[in-house]
Structure 1
Amino acid sequence: MAMTLRLTPEQDRALALLAQAQGSSKHEAAVRAIASAAARLLNDEVVAQLARDLIPGRTNLEATIRQARP
């Protein structure tokens, strides 16, 4: 589904910096940010799996967090 995302110049700069840090396009950075935020806020396995698929290293990070918990 197509969607137009209107950003302020400051938001566009933040997205550009995020994309640069990830080594990705601004589109991919936005998609990853959405998946990551949804996974943090929602207790939904489908969303969590989407985040694991889209964000490199997320599976390893989750395993590390689980091991650190008492």
Structure 2
Amino acid sequence: MAMTLSLTDEQDHALTALAEAQKISKQEAAVRAIEDAASRRAETRDAVLRRIVSEDSELLDLLAK
């Protein structure tokens, strides 16, 4: 799907620098940044859920009955 991305000059400079450092296009740099952010969010969510299950296992067992 095509999309237009409006960036401030500062954001465009940062994206350009990122793309040049990785020797990829600005589009690829933006795609990778989005994928990385989504992955970190999923990892954070999974870590929080593991902590809840671990710390509240007795309560969860009671609620499951």
TM-score, normalized by length of structure 2? 0.63
Greater percentage in helix: 2
How far apart are 1:42 and its partner, in Å?
1.6
Gaps of 5+ in 1: 44-70
Q: What is the count of residue pairs matched by the alignment? A: 43
- Root-mean-square deviation (CA, aligned residues, Å) is 0.8
Over the matched positions of the two proteins, sequence identity in percent amounts to 65
Moved over 4 A (4+): none
Q: Which has the higher contact order (CA 8 A, sep 6+)?
A: 1
- Residue number in structure 1 paired with 2:14: 14
Measure the CA separation in 2 of the matches of 1:42 and 1:12: 27
Residue by residue over 1:1-28, the C-alpha shift from the partner in whole angstroms, topping out at 9 and shown as x without a partner, is 1110000000000000000111100000
Which structure would you say has the larger Rg?
2
Measure the CA separation in 2 of the matches of 1:22 and 1:31: 13
